[in-house]
Structure 1
Amino acid sequence: MKFNSLFFVLIFVFFTSVVHAQRTIDKIDKDWRFAFGGAIGTNEDYGFSSAYFSYLAKAGFGDGPASSKFDDRSWQRIQLPHDWMTQLIFSPNASPSHGYKAGGKGFANHSIGWYRKNIFIPKADKGKIISIKFDGVFRNSKVWLNGFYLGNEESGYNSFNYDVTPYVNYGKENVLTVRVNATEEEGWFYEGAGIYRDVYLVKTNPIHIKDDGIFITPQLNKALTHSEVNIKNIITNDGASHQKITVENTLYDPNGTLLKNVDTIVAIGKVLSDISIPLSISVDNPQLWDTDNPLLYSLQTKIYDNNHVLLDSTSEHFGIRSIFMDPTKGFFLNGKHIKLKGTNNHQSHAGVGTALNEGMIYYRLQKLKAMGSNAYRGSHYPLSPVFLDACDRLGILVIEENRLMGINPMHLRNVRKMIERDYNHPSIFSWSIGNEEWMIEGNNKGVEIADYIQNYIQTLDSSRYMTAGLSNGFKVGMSSNIQVMGYNYLGNGDIQDHYEHHQLQPSMGTEEGSTFATRGIYKTDSLKQYESAYDRKPRPSFYSIEEGWYYYAKREYLSGVFFWTGFDYRGEPTPYSWPSVTSYFGMMDLCGFPKDDYYYLQSWWQSKPMLHILPHWNWVGSESKNIKVVTYSNLDEVELFLNGHSLGKKEMPINSHLYWNVPYQKGVLSAAGYRNGNIVLRDSVVTSGPVDHLDLQLENDSLSQSKGIYVVKVKALDKFGYFVPDAKNSFTIKNSSQYKILGVGNGDPTSHAPENYDTIYQQKVLNFRKLDSTLHFVINSFSANNSCIFTIYTDSSFKVKTIMLNGKMIHSKSTGIFEVSNELLKKENSIRIVSYDRNVKLGEQNSHTLRMIIQQKIKLKENQLSLFNGLAQIIIQSEQLPKLESVKTKNVFTLSIGDVK
C-alpha cells in the first residue's frame, strides 16, 4: 500500500502542470526518409537486430535504423502516403497477382522498407499523453520512438496507435522509425508496400476521450418524424488523481445549428481505466442522410474538470437514417425502396499504387457516382478512415469487409478494431465477415465460424447487417446461416433455387460480372493481350454486365448487385499472364477513363438523359465491312445516322441496348436519342486524322482539387479538334520545381513504363576492407542506361582526401554527393577512398563510421509518356492550380507544367 500511495502521489505531481492541456491532432505525412532494407541478413538490413542488446532484449536498445543515432542523411526524402512498389520495375519472375512488381517474395532487396522521421515535441507538452496513430501500413510493421520498441502490426489493413509518452525527449527532436516487411502477401491482388495511409501525432490530457470512444446510434421511428440519438462516451484516465469531471455533449444539425447540449457529471477515480457514459438526445423532424442528400449531423464532446477548465474535445459527424433489408422486397433506405447499384474495388490507381491520398479518393468516388453507382464494397479489407469520410459526404452506401475469418484473439481483435473505428459512419450498412473462403464456406466449419463471428459482431453493433461473399453452390454451409446472403456470381450456383429454400434470408449480389475489356479496343488480340470492349460473357457459365444487371434488376427480393470491378487494378491479369500486369475487369481502366460498360450501367443506374455510341469510327482498311454499332441510352428511342443518312430508329428495351450492323465508310457516325418523340441528345464518333495537338483537361472537380490533387487528362486531337481514339503517340513532360508529379499512367494493361519520375534505387556498400589509410571495396555496377549518384556521409572526425573509381579520381572534397558518369562503370567496380584519418571505424552499426550508400536515380528519357488509345493521365500535387501547356514542334509533343525554362 505504501508503494501504491507513492505511485498516486507521483502521478498527481506529474500531471498537475498539464491540467489545462487540450487535444491536438497533427497529420505528420511530410518530411520522411525512406530506404530499402534487406530480408536476407542483418548486413543487408543496416545491422538491424544484431547488437548484443537489441530491441527485444532491453527497453530502448533499438539498433540499426531503430537507433536515434543512426545516420539517415543519404536516404530518399518522401511524403506520405507512400507505396514503394510504384518505384519498382516489372519482372516476369514476380507475383502475377501483385502485378509483376519486383518486390515481395523472391525480391529480398525490395521487400523491406525503412522509414524515419524527426518530430520536435516542445517542453510545454510534458505531462500530456503523446501517441502516434497510423491509418494503415502494408505490412508487418515494427515501430520505434527514440530506440524504444512500440510494437508490431502484422495486417496491412488495420489502423493502430501507440502511446509514446514515456519515450519522448521534450524540447528536442524525436526519431520515429518504422520497419515494413512486405515479403508476405495478404491478398491475391496488388497491395503495394509501405506507409500508404496517413500518420498522426496526437496529444491529449491524461483524462481524455478514448480513441474511437464515441459511439452514436440514431434510431428513427417508422414515420421518420423523430429520432433518438443514442450516444456512448468512453472516457480514459491515463494518470490523473480522483476528481469529478463534466462531460458535455452538444448536437448540431447539418446546417450547423445547435440543437441540444447535455452535461453529465461523473467521478474519475481508478488510474489506467475507462468509464462509459450513456445518454440519449431526441431530435424531432430529423434531416435524413441518403444517397442523394447525404446530410450530416455533428456531435461535439468536451470534458471539463472541477473548475470548468477544458480538458479534451472531439467532434464526430454522423447521419440519421434507417436501413432495412427485406427478404422478399429488397433494400430500404429511410423507408424508401432502392436498388443497390454497386461495384467492388481494390485501392490502387495508375501512378500512385495504393498511396491514395484524400484528393485521389474523392476523384475515384466521384467517377463512380457519375456512373450512377450508389454503393461500394471494400474488397477485401477494411477501408481507410479518409475513404469512409468521403463516402459519408458523397452519399455512397458501403459494405466494409473483414480481411480474414477466424475466431481466435487475432481474428476477433481485427473485427473489433474495424467496427469500433468505423461505427459512426452512416455510409456503412453492412459488415462483411469474409469473401470466398473456399476451404470452409461450404461445410460445417464455415457454419461454426460464421456463427461465432456474427454473434461477436452483435455484441459490438446490432444496428447493421452482416454478410459474406459466397461462391460455393449457394446450397450448403455458410449460405444457410449468414444473416444476409451474398452471391458471388450467377455462374456459381442457382440463386432462384436458394431463394426459394431461404425466403426469410435477405440477399444481394456481392460480386457479379468479372468481364474482360480493354478501353478503346473492339477486336480481341490475344497476341497483344487486348480484350474487346464489347460487353460479353467472360466465360460460358458467367454473365456479361448487361446480363448480370438484367437478372438482379428484375428480381425484387435481391437488394442489388456489386459488379467486379469499378476500376481496373494492378494484379490478377486474367485471362492472361505476363506481359499483362493489370486486371481487365473494370468499368474504368487503371486511370479512371471509362470503358463502354461504364456507359451501359450509367444508362440504367441514373435518371439524367444519356446517350453513348460505340465503337470509334477509325477503321482504315475495313471499308464496306460490317461493323457492330451499339448505343447505350435511357431514352425511349435511338436513331442512327451515317454521314447524315438515317439507318433506322429503334425503341430502347429496358435494361438493354440497341445495335446495328453498319458497312464501314469513313465520316461521321451519329445517334439521336428521343423522349416523347422529341430529340433530347445526340452523340457521334468521327473518322479522325493524325494527331495534331494534345488537349489538357483537369478531370477532377474543385472538391478533390481542394485536397491539393490535380488529375490531368491528356487527350489526342486532330487538326479539326476530333478525338483520335487509336493514338499511341509519345510526349515529353517538362515540370517546374514548384509542382510534384505523383504518378503517370495511360490504362494500357500491358504497359511496363515507369509510374513516376523520381524513382530511386539504393545499394548499400557493406564489404569495406581497410588498406593502410585507404578504404577499398568492390560493388556491382548499375545499368549503363541510367545515371548514378554516389552519396557519402561521415561524421566530422572522418575526412576524405580522394575518391577513385576504377582508377580515375572523381572527388577531392571532404564529404558530399557525387554524380558519376556511367561511362566510368564496369561490370565490377573498384572504389578507393583515401582518408586523412587512419583510425576510421568500419561497419554499419556505429553512427561514427564511414557510411556509404549508392543511390541509382532513374531518369526517364526526357520524362516520356505514351498515349494509349488517345489518352494518358498525369497526377499533380500542388497547393495552387498548375499552369498547363502543350506544344508541338516538328511532330514532337511537349507538355509543360508550370513555368518551365
Structure 2
Amino acid sequence: MRKIRSILFIVVSCSFLNTQAQQSKRLNNNWEFLREDLGGIWEAVRPVKPGSSESVPVWEKVNLPHCFNATDAVDPDVNYYEGPGWYRTNLKIDNPYNKGRTLLHFEGAGQKTQVYVYDKKVGQHIGGYDEWTVDITDAVAEFKKDSVFNGRFEGKVPIAIRCDNSRDLEMIPSDLSDFNIYGGIYRYLNLVYTPQLSFDKVFALAEVDAAGKQGVLKISSRFYNPNNIKNVKVGIKITDPNGKIIGESQKQFTPLNLNQELENLTVKKPMLWSPSSPFLYTVEVSVSQNGEQAFYTEKVGFRNFEFVKKGPFMLNGKRLLLRGTHRHEDHAGVGAAMTEDMIRKEMLMMKDMGVNFIRLAHYQQSRIVLNLCDSLGIMVWEEIPWCRGGLGGDIYQAQAKRMLTNMIEQHYNHPAVIIWGLGNENDWPNDFATFDEEKIRMFMSELNDLSHKLDPTRMTAIRRCDFCKDIVDVYSPSIWAGWYRGIYTEYKEIAQKEFDSVDRFIHMEWGGDSHAGRHSENPDAALSKVKASGTGDERAGDASLFGGSARVSKDGDWSESYICNLIDWHLKEQETMPWLTGSAYWPFKDFSTPVRPDNPVPYVNQKGVIERDFTKKEAYYVFQSYWTDKLMAHIYGHSWPVRWGDAGEARMVKVYSNATEAELFVNGISQGVRKRNSQDFPAAGLRWMVNYKEGENDLKVVAKKGKETVTDEITQQYQTAKWGKPAKLTLSKIKDTDGKITIEVKLLDANNVLCLDAKNVIEIGLTGDGKLIDDQGTSSGSRKVELYNGRAVISLLTNGGKSVASVKTEGIKTVFLNL
C-alpha cells in the first residue's frame, strides 16, 4: 500500500477478481464519455437534468470497455486522437461488510488515469497496461454524510474518471512504436466489496524436476490490511486437475505480517502442465477475522522448462519446438477495447492454428489472455513497453521498473509464462537529443536484476538490441529474411549464424505484409531484384515504402501468394533445425499503427495471418498444415475469384494439408495423387500444374491420413483476355441482406477487361440515409484502400433509406451508384 497526500488517495496493486467471497461487479453499462478535457471536476459531477440548457459539454453514452480510438486509429484522413477524455457514472454503493472496503479495480486504462468521487480526487495511475485498484471507501462515506448532495443524486455516488493518452516523452512506450498508444478505459473496470481484511495478492510457485517425479508448491500472500488487524486464521486447500484435494490446512497468525508465508507442500508425481495437456491445480486461500472471510483462488501448473545453453528448448525433460506468434490488443471497430468473448475467440483461433507459444507485444496484457494461455497450453513471453526511442530520465525509468514489478507480481502464478521481456528494439533512437548505448546497457542490467529478484524461476529476454544481448538470459536478433532484407532461402544460414553468437537464442518476429484478397500468378518476381543480405535484419528506413535498396517489403506485390511461400519455406526449414528453440511469426492479427499511413490499408500493419475482424488470410492454413494434428486440407485461393494466363497455360494449384496424401479434381477430372513431404517446397509436395478452362472452374481436393478423409472445394474464374491501361471504374451491388448491402469496385481497361494486376488507391463515399461500415482497418472495411487484383468491396447499412455511393481514383472519372 502506498499513500498519496492523504488517506483518500490509497492505491494498491491487486487481483481481487480471483476472489470468491468478496463481491465483484463489472461496471460495463450506464457510462457517459467526453473526448476532450474539462475546465474542472465540477463540470463532470454537477447535478444537471438531462437535456437542460446547462448540459454542456455534450456527453456520449458508452459501455465499458471503451477506447478513445475505436475507429480513428485507422481513419485514413486524420491523426488518431491523443489527449484527455472523461468518463462518468453514478453508482449505487452498499458495502455489506462491517468496516469493509469499497474498491475500484482497473484491469487496464490508458495511459494516465485520475479517479474522482464527486469532487474529491481519490487515486491516480500512470501506465496503460498493468492492473491497479483505488480504495474509495472513505470518500464514499464522506459524500454520503452530506444529505443535500446525496439527495441530488438519488442515493447514488457520482464517479468521474479522466484518462489521457497525450504524447509524453517521459513515458513508455515511445510514440515511435509501431502501434497506437490507445486511450480510454479499454479493459474491464470492477466495483469490489471486501471485508476490512482481504488479500492483495497470493503468490503460488509450483516447481518440479525435469523427470516429473516430485513437485513443490510454495504459497505466500500479501494482505490488504489498512486497519492493521493482527489476529487471523488462514485456510488453504489445494486440489488437483481431477478435483481431488491433495492438501488442506488451517493456520493461526498472530501477529499477521503484510507479506506472509503460508504453505510449502510436496506433491509426488504431479500431473504436468504442457501444450498438449495443460493440467491446472487449484489453490484456494481464505482469511478469517471477526466472523468475516475473504477468499482467493488461483490456478497453477507444474512444469519444468529449460533453454539449453547452445541448444534447444526443453519442456518436462523433452525437446519442444516453440511454435509461436505475437498478439497486440487491437480489433476492428473497438481498438483496444476487446470484450472477453473477442479475446477468447482470438486465442482459440491461435490454438487451432497450432500455436504453443506467444509473445505478448509489447506490453502487459489482460488477465483474460493469461488465463486462456494457462488453460489452452500456450507458453508466454510477456514484456514491458520499453519500446524504441532511447532512454528517458528518472521519471521514465521509475515507470519502467514499476511496470516490470507489477507485471511480474500480477502474472507470477501463471504456468504459461516462461519469459519476462525487458524491452524491444532498444537500439532505436530519436526520442531524445542524445542516444547513449552505455546508459541503455546500465538500465537494461538494472531491469534484468530486478526481474530475477522478483522471480528467479523465469528467463529474461529482449528482441533486437545487439549491444545488450549479453545481459539477458535469452536473445532474439532481427531476422526478416525475404522481407526487409535478403531472400527467404537464406533463413537457415542466417539463423545458424545468430544462434552461434549467443548462449540462448530464439527467433522473434519474421514474416511480411500481405494485402488480404490480393494474389499473384508470379509471387516471387521481386526476389530477382533483391540481393542476398547475409543478415536479414531490418535497418533504419527499411520499413519505409520509399527509397533505399531493393527489398520485397518495398518492391514486392504484397500478395498473399508471396507471404504463403515465405512462411512455407521458413516452416519447412525449422523442421530441419534440431538446435532451434523456436520462433514466433509477427503477428497473428493485423493491427493499427500511426507510422504506416501509406500501406494498402492505411495505418494498418498488415503482417497478420488474420485481419482485424478475425477474417482468415490464406497464410493461416499454411501454419495449420505444419503445426496441427487434426486432419485439414485447404486449396490455396479461397479469396482469389479470378486467375489469369494464356489459354492452355498450366497454372499451379497448391493445397496446404497435414494429410499423408491428397488427390485434386478440376471440373470433376482427377489431376492425380500427391504424397506430402514437408521438404518438397512449395506446399510440401501437394501441388499440381493445371490447365484451367476459360470461365468457371471447380476445384476439389480429397486428402487422407490413415482412414480419415477431408475435402475442400473452391470455384475460380480463369481469364485469358489481356488488359491494357486502366480506364474506367465500375460500382455494383453484389449482396443485399437485412438492410446490409455489399458493393464491389472494379477497375477495367478501355475494352472492359478487368485489370487483374491493378493496385490503384480508391476512395469510396456515401451520401444519403445509409452509413458505410468503414474505419475497420480491413481490406473490406476501409473507404480508402488499394485494389486487390483490380477490385475491392465494402459494406454499408441502409438504415431503411436511400443513398448514393461513389468511387474515385486519381486520373479516372468518378462513378456513382444509387442504392
TM-score (norm 1): 0.66
Are positions 1:619 and 2:642 aligned together? yes
Aligned residue for 1:168, secondary structure, equals: helix
Instruction: Classify the secondary structure of the residue corresponding to 2:413.
Output: coil
Aligned partner of 1:758 in structure 2 is none
Aligned counterpart for 1:632 among listed residues 626, 643, 656: 656
Matches within 5 A, 1:32-47: 32-38=31-37, 45=38, 47=39
CA distance in 1, matches of 2:469, 2:437: 10
| Secondary structure of residue in 2 paired with 1:430 | strand
Q: After superposition, where does 1:136-155 map in structure 2 within 5 Å?
A: 136-155=108-127
Q: CA separation in 2, counterparts of 1:89 and 1:369?
A: 28
Aligned to 1:458: 452
Match of 1:53 in 2: none
Q: Distance in 2 between matches of 1:374 and 1:742?
A: 35
Judged with a 3 Å threshold, the aligned counterparts in structure 2 of structure 1 residues 90 and 465 are, in CA distance, closer, same or farther, namely: closer
Instruction: Say whether residues 1:362 and 2:362 are aligned partners.
Output: no
Cα offset, 1:638, TM superposition:
3.5
How far apart are 1:164 and its partner, in Å? 1.6
* Larger radius of gyration between Structure 1 and Structure 2: 1
**By how many angstroms is 1:236 displaced?**
3.4
Matches of 1:544 and 1:864, distance apart in 2: 46
Partner amino acid for 2:690?
V
Tell whether the 8 Å contact from 1:121 to 1:173 is kept in structure 2 after alignment: yes
Name the structure 2 match of 1:757. none
Q: Residue 431 and residue 860 in structure 1: after superposition, are their counterparts in 2 closer, same or farther (change >3 A)? A: farther
Which residue is 2:591 aligned to?
A: 569
Match of 2:698 among 661, 668, 677: 668
Q: Deviations for 1:738-794, whole angstroms, at most 9, x for unmatched residues? A: xxx99995931771399xxxxxxxxxxxxxxxxxxxxxxxxxxxxxxxxxxxxxxxx
Q: Distance in 1 between matches of 2:568 and 2:803?
A: 34
Query: Structure 1 residues 430, 291: CA separation in 2 closer, same or farther (over 3 Å shift)?
Result: same
- CA displacement at 1:444 relative to structure 2: 3.7
CA deviation after TM superposition for structure 1 residue 204, in Å = 2.0
The equivalent residue for 1:261 is 248
Map 1:433-582; keep pairs closer than 5 Å. Answer: 433-439=422-428, 443-470=437-464, 476-491=466-481, 494-502=494-502, 505-519=503-517, 521-522=519-520, 531-536=558-563, 544-571=566-593, 576-577=598-599, 580-582=602-604
Deviation at 1:71, TM superposition (A): 6.6
- 1:575 is displaced (CA, Å) by 9.2
Distance (Å, rounded) in 2 between the aligned partners of 1:420 and 1:634: 41
Q: Are 1:68 and 1:147, in contact at CA under 8 Å, matched by a contact in 2?
A: no
Give the stretch that moved more between structures: 127-136 or 145-154: 145-154
What's 1:803 paired with?
A: none
CA contact (8 A) 2:609 2:616 kept: yes
User: Which letter maps to 1:619?
Assistant: V
Equivalence for 2:401? 412
1:722-761 matched pairs, under 5 angstroms: 747-748=778-779, 751-752=782-783
SS at match of 1:669: strand
Q: Distance in 2 between matches of 1:862 and 1:662?
A: 47
Q: Which residue of structure 2 aligns with residue 13 of structure 1?
A: none
- CA displacement, residues 516-537 of structure 1 (integer Å, 9 cap, x when unaligned): 242364478999x983210349
Measure the CA separation in 2 of the matches of 1:299 and 1:68: 46
Task: Tell me, in whole angstroms, the C-alpha distance in 1 between the residues paired with 2:187 and 2:804.
Answer: 29
Residues 279 and 301 in structure 2, CA contact (< 8 A), matched pair in contact too: yes
Moved more, 22-31 or 435-444: 435-444
* Alignment correspondent of 1:429: 418
2:712: which partner in 1? 683
Counterpart selection for 2:271 from 262, 267, 287: 287
Pair 442,344 (structure 1): closer, same or farther in 2 beyond 3 Å: farther
Residue by residue over 1:803-856, the C-alpha shift from the partner in whole angstroms, topping out at 9 and shown as x without a partner, is xxxxxxxxxxxxxxxxxxxxxxxxxxxxxxxxxxxxxxxxxxxxxxxxxxxxxx
Q: Deviations over 1:480-501 (max 9, x none)?
A: 2220112332547943223324
- Which amino acid in 1 is paired with 2:249? V
Which residue does the alignment assign to 1:238?
226
Residue 183 of structure 2 is matched in structure 1 by 193
Inter-partner Cα distance in structure 2 for 1:377 and 1:515: 19
Deviations 1:313-355 (Å, cap 9, x if unpaired)? 1111222222222134422222232211111121111222211
**Contact 1:584/1:749 (<8 A) preserved:** no
Q: Name 1:296's counterpart in structure 2.
A: 280
In the TM superposition, what whole-angstrom CA distance separates every residue of 1:595-614 from its partner, at most 9, and x where no partner exists?
11111111001122222212
Q: 1:32, 1:147 → 2: CA distance?
A: 17
1:117 to 56, 80, 89: 89
The alpha-carbon distance between structure 1 residues 864 and 288, as it changes in their structure 2 partners (threshold 3 A), is farther
Long gaps (5+) in structure 2: 1-19, 145-149, 168-173, 430-434, 486-492, 527-544, 546-553, 719-731, 745-755, 767-771, 786-795, 806-816
Amino acid at match of 1:281: L
Residues 71 and 335 (structure 1 numbering): CA distance in 2 closer, same or farther, change over 3 Å? farther
Cα distance, 1:224 vs structure 2: 1.1
**Equivalent residue runs for 1:103-182 within 5 Å:** 103-104=81-82, 111-122=83-94, 124=96, 127-169=99-141, 170=144, 172-182=155-165
Measured after TM superposition, the shift of residue 713 of structure 1 is 15
* Matches of 1:687 and 1:91, distance apart in 2: 33
State the secondary structure of the residue aligned to 1:229: strand
Equivalent in 191, 209, 224 of residue 212 of structure 2: 224
TM-score (normalised: structure 2): 0.72
State the alpha-carbon separation in 2 of the partners of residues 630 and 695 from structure 1: 33
| Offset, 1:862 | 4.6
Amino acid paired to 1:234: R
TM-superposed deviation, 1:548: 2.7
- Counterpart amino acid of 1:63? W
Q: Which moved more, 1:177-186 or 1:428-437?
A: 177-186
Determine the C-alpha separation between the residues in 2 that align with 1:507 and 1:694: 53
Residue in structure 2 matched with residue 76 of structure 1 by the alignment: 60
